Amino acid sequence: MKKIAVLNDLSGLGKCSLTAAIPVISVMGIQACPLPTAVLSCQTGFPSYFCDDYTDRMDKIMDEWKKLDFQPDGIYTGFLADAAQADKVLSFIALFGGENVKILVDPVMGDDGEEYPIYTEELCEKMRFLAKKAAVITPNLTEALLLLYGRERAHEVWTELCDFEENDLVRFVEETGYKLARAYETEVVITGIDLPIKDGVQEMGNLICSRDSVQWIKAQKHGGSYSGTGDLFASVLSAGLVKGTDTVESVRKAVNFLAKGIRDAVEEETDRNEGICFEKYLYELAR
């Protein structure tokens, strides 16, 4: 059975990070091998949480895996708390990222034009190093701008976006995808773009961009943002990457899967911090 090493935190509540990745990767026929970067009582969107940082223990886990001659088929990296953790991930890739290992990097740093509290320019620079190792990266638009420009210029560009016409925004996102794909020599999936409203319907778009092509996968938008949707999305792509599935097909599968879970979360009035109702749709990913 193929294996994916998943480097991410473990949150007891919130349906994100490892608790999102493990069931998705598993149901798609791949063994998920978690290397926790931290253990939390709940994800950090909740009013209060306990966090046990695992940075100083990651080397010990890597050492033991090396003794066992662990050879993953894929590596998937998600939320990293700081530059020190990013360095550990780079060390992991150096140890276990062979020529045929498919690497997916989700450069978690911010959203909606703002950085998360963990953001530093040093962390962003480490994310750039990770992006250069990846076969696929999955930034949202905020993270794409941070990767390209850093915090100060990214803020300036985001402010300029407010004055864009609808078609100009679409063109801008495509240009941004091209820049990332060329700068990091990787396939880029820019996630969660609010597209222009048509016939009273708000659509959410995901742009798949290589150095010479772009393609949009769209779905009707339901509700607001929920904990863990990015983790679920990237997990589908990571498993698809290892299975040799075309990225466009993987994105389409992820979008259809998430749309149903989000719809149910809206209907049940689930708090956004709790995550979406995805469990009963996992079987669809096994097809």
Please tell me the predicted confidence (pLDDT) of residue 287.
79
| Nearest-angstrom CA–CA distance, 139 and 172 | 15
pLDDT in tens, 150-175: 999 999 999 998 877 777 888 999 99
pLDDT in tens, 52-79: 999 999 999 999 999 999 999 999 999 9
Per the structure, how many domains does the chain have? 1
Please tell me the predicted confidence (pLDDT) of residue 223.
74
What radius of gyration do the chain's Cα atoms show? 18
Residue 97 has pLDDT above 90, yes or no: yes
Tell me, what CATH number does 207's domain have? 3.40.1190.20
Q: Are 257 and 285 in contact (CB under 8 A)?
A: yes
Q: What is the mean pLDDT of residues 100-125?
A: 95
| Nearest-angstrom CA–CA distance, 178 and 197 | 25
- Per the structure, the complete domain to which residue 72 belongs is given by 3-282
Structure tokens at 56: 């100083």
Please tell me the predicted confidence (pLDDT) of residue 283.
96
Q: Does residue 198 lie within any of the structural domains? A: yes
Give residue 86's pLDDT band: very low, low, confident or very high (50, 70, 90). Answer: very high
Please tell me the predicted confidence (pLDDT) of residue 228.
93
Q: Quick one: 69 exposed, middle or buried, by C-beta within 10 A (0-12, 13-18, 19+)?
A: exposed
CA torsion sign, 14 to 19 to 23 to 24? positive
pLDDT in tens, 118-137: 999 999 999 999 999 999 99
Q: Does residue 58 lie within any of the structural domains? A: yes
Nearest to 103 by CA among 82, 72, 79: 72
Q: Does residue 287 lie within any of the structural domains? A: no
Residue 25 has pLDDT above 80, yes or no: yes
Phi then psi for residue 244, to 5 deg, are 85, 15
CB environment 198-216: b (16+ within 10 A), e (fewer): eeeeeebbbbbbbeeebeb
pLDDT in tens, 210-269: 878 899 998 888 777 899 999 999 999 999 999 999 999 999 999 999 999 999 999 999
Please tell me the predicted confidence (pLDDT) of residue 225.
82
Q: What is the mean pLDDT of the chain?
A: 94
